[in-house]
Amino acid sequence: MKTVRDIMQESAGFRFLINEINIVSSPGRKLLYNRQMMTLADDIRQQLDLLEKMQILVQIPENKDPIDRIIHDLITLKDIQLTISRLSRGEISDDIELFEIKQLSLLNESIKALLKQIRCDLIRLPDLGEVVGLLDPDNQGIPHFYIYSAYSEALLDLRLKIKQTDISSTEEWEAFRLQEQELEEEIRISLSQKLRVFADGLKVALEGLSLLDVLIAVANWSIEMSLCKPGISYKDTRYEALFNPAVKRFLKETGKEYQPVDIHFDKIPVLITGANMGGKTVLLQTVFIAQYLCQFGLFVPAKNAMISPVEAVYFNNEENRTSQNGLSSFAEEMVQLNELVKAVRSGKKVLVLLDELARTTNPDEGKAIVSSTLEFLAGQKTSGLITTHYSGIRVECRKLRIRGLMYEKLSEKIHLKDLNRYMDYRLEEVEMNEAPAEGIRIAEIMGMDEEIIFKAKLHYTGKKP
């Protein structure tokens, strides 16, 4: 099953979102990046409910200071799985490993007290007070370790002798030092044996603190990015005011507004048409991102959402294509399409996202491939969004059109950077089989040579140039 890390490598938009999550510890990042895509509705709901509860906690004003302290302390959380594993096998811990165990135990006890202060029972941390007592005999409460003299009166007496012995008395001094090292090793062995029974608790602490780091960071991120908790549906997928966070931020930085989109789809594929630059690709990329976010137990970029879980998402976007077989883009696309067909035939529940399918072959054959794919998906009752600029596709399916250019607002001359202001990215139901013809007008707006535009219009209308 795919992980968060896998999808970060596939999608720049998804990677942008995950990189915005301010996880402060390396174990926390590892935990999130290795999270697997969930397919069972109950598993997804459990993660979403957990996140929702944390989001409520982080928004309570009196919790701000304790949570800030938790975040600050979690910066020191280290991945000591190997140390814990060695301890559980009965191996002797060295001073660095004993320091790591002490640091984790102190962190566990400190954060456990802070969680109690904010009445958070979402994370169950073990009681490691006895571990702290073993590794902090002087009760200093600081993340530092060495073989303390408090462990042994013999060690204390020996260290006093070493301190009082003239270092020029080499043989006597070295004999004392050797005895000291032997006593220290005996103490390490004793400590390791006593600590072994706490190995499972240390593992639980590491996992719990890592999850806490993820939950707090994701809760704050969800608020900052205006994400919503999706509902889980067994029938269809619905988004109200779906938006692409990366595009939205870019537009905001350039003084423009993002137009969110409402869309729903079920087990019948949907054909989406619209002009180039009309937002078809961004729409599919955003649905791709939202589907995976939901199935990783994260909130999604929309005002409201109901999402039907799937076992796989197939997206033919060029961003996800990395051919190493020397195939043409069309050939590779057909290989991917055939993999999709095999998955659907096997009974796997998939979400199909096909952006301008077969656009790199001749239009007649491309249209035929789009039509046959639509028929196949409809026959298999498979959810899918298929965008195209081909006209004349008469397959029985649901058809949507991106409204496109708002001609009533177009002036004689508009600057390319302002094109976004004259586009309507909302979707509308259509019955017609013709794709909108706005390519020449957009080319003209983008400053294409006047002679080319003039002759293109003549060709399009059937008049001889």
CATH 3.40.50.300 placement within the chain:
227-434
> What's the DSSP call for residue 119?
T
Question: What is the arithmetic mean of pLDDT over 250-275?
Answer: 90
- What pLDDT does residue 255 have? 87
pTM of the model: 0.89
Question: How far is residue 132's CA from residue 282's CA, in Å, rounded to a whole number?
Answer: 53
CA 298 to chain centre: 8
- What would the pLDDT profile of 71-95 be if each residue is shown by its tens digit? 999 999 999 999 999 999 999 999 9
**437 token code pair:** 């013809």
Among the residue ranges 30-39, 56-65, 226-235, 309-318, the one predicted with the least confidence is: 309-318
Angle between helices 64-74 and 95-117 (to 10 degrees): 170
Question: How far is residue 191's CA from residue 166's CA, in Å, rounded to a whole number?
Answer: 32
- What would the pLDDT profile of 211-223 be if each residue is shown by its tens digit? 999 999 999 999 9
- What pLDDT does residue 87 have? 98
CB 108 within 8 A of CB 128: yes
Residue 321 has pLDDT above 90, yes or no: no
Kindly indicate the confidence band of residue 41, based on its pLDDT and cuts at 50, 70 and 90. Answer: very high
Residue 413 has pLDDT above 80, yes or no: no
Among the residue ranges 43-52, 256-265, 347-356, 359-368, the one predicted with the least confidence is: 359-368
Q: What does the mean pLDDT of the chain come to?
A: 90
**443 vs 181, residue with greater confidence:** 181
Max Cα–Cα distance, the chain, nearest Å: 110
**244 token code pair:** 């692409």
Residue 237 has pLDDT above 80, yes or no: yes
Q: For 98-115, give one letter per residue: b (16+ CB within 10 A) or e.
A: bbbbbbbbbbbbbbbebb
Among the residue ranges 137-151, 302-316, 356-370, the one predicted with the least confidence is: 356-370
- What pLDDT does residue 240 have? 97
Question: How far is residue 278's CA from residue 403's CA, in Å, rounded to a whole number?
Answer: 8
- What pLDDT does residue 315 have? 95
Q: Which amino acid is residue 114, in one-letter code?
A: L
Kindly indicate the confidence band of residue 412, based on its pLDDT and cuts at 50, 70 and 90. Answer: low
Question: How far is residue 238's CA from residue 231's CA, in Å, rounded to a whole number?
Answer: 9
Does the structural domain 227-434 have CATH classification 3.40.50.300? yes
Residue 204 has pLDDT above 80, yes or no: yes
Question: How far is residue 266's CA from residue 79's CA, in Å, rounded to a whole number?
Answer: 43
CATH 1.10.1420.10 placement within the chain:
21-219
Query: Which CA distances in Å does 368 have to 235, 382, 395, 463?
Result: 29, 19, 10, 28
- What would the pLDDT profile of 334-359 be if each residue is shown by its tens digit? 998 999 999 999 999 999 999 999 88
381: CB partners within 8 A, 6+ apart: 267, 268
Residue 326 has pLDDT above 90, yes or no: no
Q: What is the CATH number of domain 21-219?
A: 1.10.1420.10
**75 token code pair:** 């910066």
CB 220 within 8 A of CB 24: no
